Structure 1
Amino acid sequence: MDTDRKIISLRFNQDQGCFSCCMESGVRIYNVEPLVEKCHYDIETVGSVAKCEMLYRTNLIALVSGGTRPMFSDNILLIFDDLVKKFILEITFPSSIQAVRMRKDKIIVALLTSIHVFSFPAPTQRLFSLETIRNPRGLLELSPLAAGEKQIIIFPGHKVGSVQILDLACTEMGMSSAPVWISAHKGELACLTFNQQATKIATASVQGTLIRVWDLATKTQLVELRRGSDPATIYCLNFSSNSEYLCCSSDKGTVHIFAVKDLWKNKRMLIPNTNIFGKYANSQWALANFTVPQECACICAFTENNSVIVGKTQKEISAKRNFFVIAACLDGTFHKYVFNQDGNCNRDGFDVFLDVYDDDENLL
């Protein structure tokens, strides 16, 4: 592949309506539905970039340099303003930045063994820091703005396989409390995510065979879903906007779609004697799936199909509502499947998003 077309990382914005593409040649921002390039910044403007965090569809994005032609060190966080086409904020850390998350009033940065929370936009100052277990994957998620006033972060707890939950509002007000955590897996965490309402989280370990969904209020497990029987690297987990479904991508080249609300929709093994196979026989398998290039890292998400259904009641429309499930891959391919609640999943579109050009609009 041409070096200038080499993709370093991909990431959705908070509502999965856009995704950023970090490249050796700069950064590109794409709209998901319809697929169109919203803006791009070339290497002369931003250098090669390893990480990009959007703030919904605003003019502000957070960047961390990387790749072979970086403009800055990877321990410097940069905020770029699309309106003025320049960097407006720079924060230097003692070590490499593993992850960045943003909301309208805060920036959260994960280093290898610590997390730092800053006020934003101005005056930008550090509110507090905390020590963490080693976090080379940069696992850190922030509750979406769709969750109202909730401002919760989740990240790996000090016990291997656990998820620590921290309410930033309580910490900001000086309220102290014992650490809240969920013992999610026996092995190290590989992936975690919120639903849009920040009432549930989904987790996967480095084993990659099981995905667990947890109730955030009670800290109890809601369901255990089986991706497969052999180990895999989980790249991405995302809930649908109504929290009824969950999608998962891995290095096996398959995107899996699970039911989270109506669990009876998930597939199960038809084994007469379940005692021989134990919990495995009772596993809930994906109700639908589709394939992408194997061993090519990709991110996946749902976007609603807003097609008008004529002559149907609202209840009938809800029952028949379809989702698009999309996957954007590091090889530059974009896969779009239409998924209905019966579990049918059919290809609706395919593109090479690197060949999709600017629509001459601003990011806003």
Structure 2
Amino acid sequence: MNLARHSISSTSPIQILDARFDPDCRIFTSATPAGFAIYQTWPLKLIRKRELPGGTLSAVIPLHTSSMLFLVGGGRSPLYPPNKVVMWEDTLGKEVAELEFREKVRGLACRRGWFAVALRRRVVVFKLDESVSRFGEWDTCDNPRGLLAMATGAYSTLLAIPGRKIGHVQLVHLPECVPPEPLGPPTSALPQPPPAPTKHPVSMIVAHETALSTLSVPPSGKLIATTSARGTLVRVWDTVTGNRIRELRRGSDQADIYGVAFRPDEQELCVWSDKGTVHVFSLISGSRASNRHSKFSPLTPFLPQPFKIFGSEWSYATYSIPSQQSHIALSSTSIRSQSKGIAEEDKCVVGWIQAAVDENDPTHLEYQLVALTYTGGWYRLKLPGDQGPLAGGSLPVSPRVMTGPLPGTPPSFKGGMGGKGVQPRNRTSSVSSMKSDKGKEKEKGDGEAKPSRKCTLEEYRKFGRWDGW
């Protein structure tokens, strides 16, 4: 009797209802049908999970790395009415306040001492101190996505919301964001207030002709990135002058852009969409990583409007998120399935982290990307080329745990995140080795290898399962 060989493993998909990074990408939250969990971004580690029977959440927004979270009910069986924002103190494990509105909450953004709630046609700002007080309210155009963005850096003031007309962006300046309290002894490296602008900042930007799809600002609030419903262009604006400083092309076909994230030093940004691809662009002319241009770009001023696409800047690096099926098991069969590309769309969210260039020298850091998929995939991506250490040479390693660790934080975890805890390792996934082999074959065939435009998958893990954690 010949019996076929089968691989017996759990193939039930992980369902993530929402995933959010904190402003510094040191932690992220995930909401599942069972409740929500808080993770350290890198090295990946579960900090706390909360099982909330009785309903589901549509959003779990962390207030920096504090124990304060904002919860919004949603899904097929909302835990809270969709018109409420619940403030959750995780050290106490309970609700401490709630805000109720007359309509569904569409979006929420927060920073130290402040948070803003987006409704269908208005945005309401609250001051968060010992109590919650209403600060102001601004009208917007129809905003079903709940778009808004708040600068979170020390002394930043910007709040970006949709304007009253489609495609417009309204810039609101709130009181300055206070710097975080130092964790160690006093030091002279505390952030200093920026110089006052020489001219009054603009209050409105005419960004697109069609409806906005995303709004994003860096921590300083000096720039803003906008995308529209067409999903082909990312425009970067100066928030003081209102001038457009970059127009970046994601692609030529229409897409639903999920988000844009600035690198903390504002030298690069990444964008991701329903195409399952992460695009990375440089914002600095003449830098090591330069955006791609068409061979016909010098002719752009002489070409009619349909051919202006030849003058666009294209991403210098990309990464395609593999389908969920290719990560059911990291085996020879999964390698073959990964080589076929993306089999299905996978919603994700992407953030920037600082990771060690060499495991043996944790003082030299470089910027990398972490992508979280709504099927429980955690990807750490290395940008192409040799970045070298960040400006300043040897830097102290960024803190990797929450400010004031939550009580009961487990030291390590086994099971879905690798079996031996969550210590980082280089190129655990077979995707990276597969790509490197292809690169070697190309070198042998062409004689001279071209610089790679692909991000490298340094590490892959799973998150979102309760079993065994």
In the superposition, the TM-score normalised over structure 1's length comes to 0.86
Q: Which residue of 2 aligns with 1:174?
A: none
Report the Cα offset of residue 295 of structure 1: 2.1
* C-alpha distance 178-254 of structure 1, shift in aligned 2 (>3 A): closer
Say whether residues 1:64 and 2:87 are aligned partners: no
Aligned to 1:43: 52
What whole-Å deviation, never above 9, does each CA across 1:37-63 have from its counterpart, x for those lacking one? 22121123x831101111111010000
What corresponds to 2:161 in structure 1? 155
Larger Rg: 2
Distance 1:352 1:191 in 2: 27
Query: In the alignment, is residue 206 of structure 1 matched against residue 235 of structure 2?
Result: no
Displacement, 1:119? 1.8
Equivalent pair of 2:274/2:345 in contact (CA under 8 Å): yes
Q: Deviations over 1:4-51 (max 9, x none)?
A: x4222222111122222122221122221111122121123x831101
The residue that corresponds to 2:350 in the other structure is 300
Q: Tell me the SS of whatever aligns to 2:255.
A: coil
Deviations 1:317-356 (A, max 9, x none): 7xxx632112111111112211145666211011222248
> 1:309, 1:351 → 2: CA distance?
18
Task: State the secondary structure of the residue aligned to 2:138.
Answer: strand
- Cα distance in structure 2, aligned partners of 1:344 and 1:253: 14
Which of 272, 285, 289 lines up with 1:262 in the alignment?
A: 285
Contact persistence 2:202–2:239 (CA under 8 A): no
| C-alpha distance in 1 between matches for 2:367 and 2:136 | 40
Structure 1 residues 178 and 283 mapped into 2: Cα distance closer, same or farther (>3 Å)? closer
Q: How does 1:157-236 map to 2 (within 5 A)?
A: 157-169=163-175, 180-236=203-259
Deviation at 1:151, TM superposition (A): 2.4
**1:2: Cα distance to partner?**
5.7
- Counterpart in the other structure of 1:73: 81
**Partner of residue 275 from structure 2, selected from 239, 247, 252:** 252
SS in 1 for 2:76: strand
**1:69 to partner: Cα distance:** 2.9
CA drift at 1:112: 0.8
8 Å contact 1:244–1:262 — kept in the other structure? no
Are residues 203 and 12 of structure 1, via their aligned partners in 2, closer, same or farther at CA, if it must alter by over 3 Å? same
Which moved further from structure 2: 50-59 or 112-121? Answer: 112-121
Question: 2:139·2:164 contact (CA, 8 Å) conserved in 1?
Answer: no
- C-alpha distance in structure 1 between counterparts of 2:24 and 2:243, whole Å: 25
Structure 1 runs not aligned, ≥5 long: 171-176, 360-364
Contact conserved, 1:37 with 1:357, CA < 8 A, in 2? no
Amino acid at match of 2:155: E
CA distance in 2, matches of 1:112, 1:192: 16
Select the residue among 46, 61, 68 that pairs with 1:53. Answer: 61
Which AA in structure 2 matches 1:54? P
Equivalent in the alignment of 1:278: 307
Aligned equivalent of 2:108: 100
Tell me the alpha carbon deviations over residues 218-250 of structure 1, each in whole angstroms, 9 at most, x when there is no partner.
111111000000000000100111111100110
Please tell me the residue identity of whatever aligns with 2:374: L
Change in Cα spacing, 1:155 to 1:298, as seen in structure 2 (3 Å) is same
Match of 1:22 in 2: 31
Q: How far, CA to CA, are the matches of 1:335 and 1:357 in structure 2?
A: 21
| Aligned ranges 1:95-134 → 2 under 5 Å | 95-134=103-142
1:104: Cα distance to partner?
2.1
* Cα distance in 2 for residues equivalent to 1:64 and 1:167: 26
Structure 2 CA distance, aligned partners of 1:39 and 1:151?
Answer: 32
Measure the CA separation in 2 of the matches of 1:152 and 1:197. 8
User: Across the two proteins, how many residue pairs are aligned to each other?
Assistant: 342
SS of 2:175 mapped into structure 1? helix
Task: Say whether the 8 Å CA contact 2:348–2:374 is kept in structure 1.
Answer: yes
Residue 380 of structure 2 aligns to a residue whose secondary structure is: strand
| Residue 287, structure 1, aligned to residue 316, structure 2 | yes
User: Structure 2 residue aligned with 1:346, among 456, 463, 468?
Assistant: 456
SS in 2 for 1:305: strand
What secondary structure sits across from 1:214 in the alignment?
strand
Q: Secondary structure at the match of 1:211?
A: strand
Give the drift of 1:128. Answer: 2.0
In 2, are the aligned partners of 1:332 and 1:354 still within 8 Å (CA)? yes
Aligned partners of 2:34 and 2:51 also within 8 Å: yes
- CA–CA separation in structure 2 for the residues paired with 1:208 and 1:88: 40
2:91 aligns to what? Answer: 83
Q: Contact 1:37 / 1:358 at 8 angstroms: preserved in 2?
A: no
Residue 334 of structure 1 is matched in structure 2 by 378
Taking the aligned partners of 2:107 and 2:293, their CA distance within structure 1 comes to 37
Q: Which moved more, 1:124-133 or 1:229-238?
A: 124-133
Which ranges of structure 2 fall in alignment gaps of 5 or more residues? 1-10, 177-199, 324-343, 387-452
- Contact 1:23/1:50 (<8 A) preserved: no
Structure 1's 159 and 263: CA in aligned 2 closer, same or farther, altered over 3 A?
farther
Q: Residues 98 and 336 of structure 1: is their aligned pair in 2 closer, same or farther, counting only changes over 3 Å?
A: same
Cα contact 2:354–2:368 (8 A) shared by 1? yes
Q: 1:36 to 1:178 in 2, by over 3 A?
A: closer
Q: Which residue identity lines up with residue 280 of structure 1 in the other structure?
A: I
Say if 1:183 and 1:86 are closer, same or farther in 2 by CA, change over 3 A: same
